[in-house]
Amino acid sequence: MTTAQLYLELHEAEKLIAAAFNSKAIGHPFTHFLTINFGKLGIAPIHCQPEWQRMLKAIRRLHQRHNLPLIAAWVFERQETGVHVHCLIHLGEWNGKVYDPLLRIAIGAKRPPKGTIKNIRFHSNKSWEQNMRELLFYMCKGIRPENQPRLIGRLKKKGDSEPRPSQGYIVGKRYGFTRNLSPNAKRNNRTP
Residue 67 falls within a domain, yes or no? Answer: yes
Spatial CB neighbours of 132, under 8 Å, sequence gap ≥ 6: 20, 21, 30, 88
Residue 187 falls within a domain, yes or no? Answer: no
Q: DSSP 3-state assignment of 114?
A: coil
Residue 26 falls within a domain, yes or no? Answer: yes
Alpha carbon distance, N-terminus to C-terminus of the chain = 32
CB burial readout 33-48, b (16+ within 10 A) else e? bbbbbbbbbebebeeb
The mean pLDDT of 40-68, rounded to a whole number, is 93
Please state, for a pLDDT cut of 70, what percent of the chain lies above it: 88
Q: Is 107:61 a contact under the CB 8 Å cutoff?
A: no
Residue 17 falls within a domain, yes or no? Answer: yes
Residue 192 falls within a domain, yes or no? Answer: no
More confident residue, 169 or 182: 182
Residue 88 falls within a domain, yes or no? Answer: yes
Domain count, the chain: 1
**Local structure of residue 161 (DSSP, 8 states):** -
Residue 108 falls within a domain, yes or no? Answer: yes
Q: Which domain holds residue 96?
A: 4-181
Q: DSSP letter string over 51-76?
A: HHHHHHHHHHHHHHHTT----EEEEE
User: Which of 87-91, 176-180, 184-188 is the least confident region?
Assistant: 184-188
Q: Is 8:142 a contact under the CB 8 Å cutoff?
A: yes
Domain with 168 in it: what CATH number? 3.30.70
Q: Is 34:119 a contact under the CB 8 Å cutoff?
A: yes
What's the confidence (pLDDT) of residue 48?
Answer: 93
pLDDT reading at 158 higher than 90:
no
Residue 58 falls within a domain, yes or no? Answer: yes
